[in-house]
């Protein structure tokens, strides 16, 4: 009696697997960068309100620039973007290593994408330090 055949297990990753991992990584980097940019805009919104209040005091716009909530929330968004970018770098390296465990010669992690993620994280930290110190 013949045993039912089992489908062969896939031990090596194909090019499409690596490209999918790269697309996912870049999507996370884009999200982190968007969070940092939005955080910077939010943090500077309090400064805009203060300038608006000084230019037109009759309108009654109230703003708290020093210690205001916009700086706190903006900095939190920037820090979230930094953490997201660092996590994306770590996850992408881990994913590529997993794909490499039984893969062919063409399987290398994208050094440019990793460098971009680290760079964006450094820029985010610099933006957060700038917002706190100004």
Task: Please give the model's pTM, rounded to 2 decimal places.
Answer: 0.67
> Can you give the pLDDT at residue 29?
93
Domain boundaries, the chain: 16-133
Mean pLDDT by 10 residues, the chain (134 residues): 54 79 91 91 79 71 57 85 90 85 58 77 83 73
Q: Give the span between the Cα atoms of 72 and 57, in whole angstroms.
A: 25
Q: Are 28 and 88 in contact (CB under 8 A)?
A: yes
Return d(Cα 106, Cα 19) in angstroms, integer: 12
Chain centre distance of CA 79: 10
pLDDT of the residue at 64: 47
Tally the C-alpha atoms within 13 A of residue 101's C-alpha that lie toward its C-beta.
8
For residue 10, what pLDDT is reported? Answer: 54
Residue 30 confidence (pLDDT): 94
pLDDT at 36: 93
Do residues 28 and 84 touch, judged by C-beta distance below 8 A?
yes
- Dist CA 97 CA 94 (whole Å): 5
Distance CA 78, CA 5 (A): 54
């Amino acid at each position: 009696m013949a045993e039912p055949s089992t489908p062969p297990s896939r031990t090596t990753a194909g090019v499409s697997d690596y490209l999918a991992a790269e697309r996912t990584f870049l999507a996370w980097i884009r999200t982190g960068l968007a969070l940092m940019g939005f955080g910077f805009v939010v943090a500077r919104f309090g400064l805009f309100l203060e300038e608006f209040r000084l230019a037109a005091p009759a309108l009654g716009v109230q703003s708290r620039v020093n210690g205001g909530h916009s700086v706190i929330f903006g900095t939190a968004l920037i820090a979230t973007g930094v953490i997201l970018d660092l996590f994306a770098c770590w996850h992408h390296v881990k994913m590529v290593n997993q794909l490499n465990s039984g893969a062919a010669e063409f399987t290398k992690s994208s050094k440019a994408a990793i460098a971009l993620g680290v760079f964006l994280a450094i820029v985010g930290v610099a933006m957060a330090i700038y917002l706190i110190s100004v």
